Amino acid sequence: MTRFKLTIEYDGGPYVGWQRQDNGPSVQGCLEAALLRLTGRDIAVYGAGRTDAGVHALGQVAHIDLDDARFDGRKLRQAVNHHLKPAPIAVLDAVAVNADFHARFSAIERAYLYVIVSRRAPLAIDRGHAWHVRQPLDVAVMDEAAQRLVGFHDFSSFRAVQCQAKSPCKTLDQVTVTADGEEIRITATARSFLHHQVRNIVGTLKMVGEGKWTADDVSRALAARDRRAAGPTAPADGLYLVSVHYPPVTGASPANT
């Protein structure tokens, strides 16, 4: 039995999320169906994170256990991609790893990107892949406010009501807000995130960019430990899981794209 680490890219638009569900197609379900077609056996796919409906990935990581001597990493990647067609999912890399590697529990850092396009004209190319905000946003004050959230905090104000995490306390390692023309990019890195944490942070920072809130308002919202104190939840389609990192001792190198 060989454990393989898969690095996966997908467009989350057509899916109910990463996790297999009864109410529609999922990314996990599509991968497992492709593996069934390939091997004739039910093979469980374990992901590093359960992205929501509409959320995309540039570097999701998963692992599978495969007892089939026909496949090394390269052949497995090619074969799974063949059976995934025409789904907007691609295995970017497949590599054999140590048996104790776990895509979720071995991870030491996850990085997310949120994309806003700030312009009056509607989106054509980026529709479904960015949040269209028609009014101009002040990126500098958004970035200043974002720094109030860095570090170890109780993030109850930025946590979805249905979040199942045992504790609202997380360490946010980094948040940055930058702009390239009309595109505003908000990046966040942490070991793990609460449900909707990044989207709730983005919705709050948008209010700062519009001039409705200040950095002090963000600090007050954080201190309130109450979801009602922070800003709205940003749409799912602007969010991307960019990468998942692991310690070298697990036998898996960082998954970067």
Q: Is 250 within 8 Å of 48 (Cβ atoms)? A: no
One DSSP character per residue, 177-237 reads EEEETTEEEEEEEES---TTHHHHHHHHHHHHHTTS--HHHHHHHHHHT-GGGS-PPPPGG
Rg of the chain on CA atoms, in Å? 19
Q: Is 104 within 8 Å of 6 (Cβ atoms)? A: no
- Look up 237 and say whether it is catalytic: no
One DSSP character per residue, 73-98 reads HHHHHHHHHHHHTTSSEEEEEEEEE-
Q: Which of 11, 22, 42, 52 is catalytic?
A: 52
Active-site positions read 52
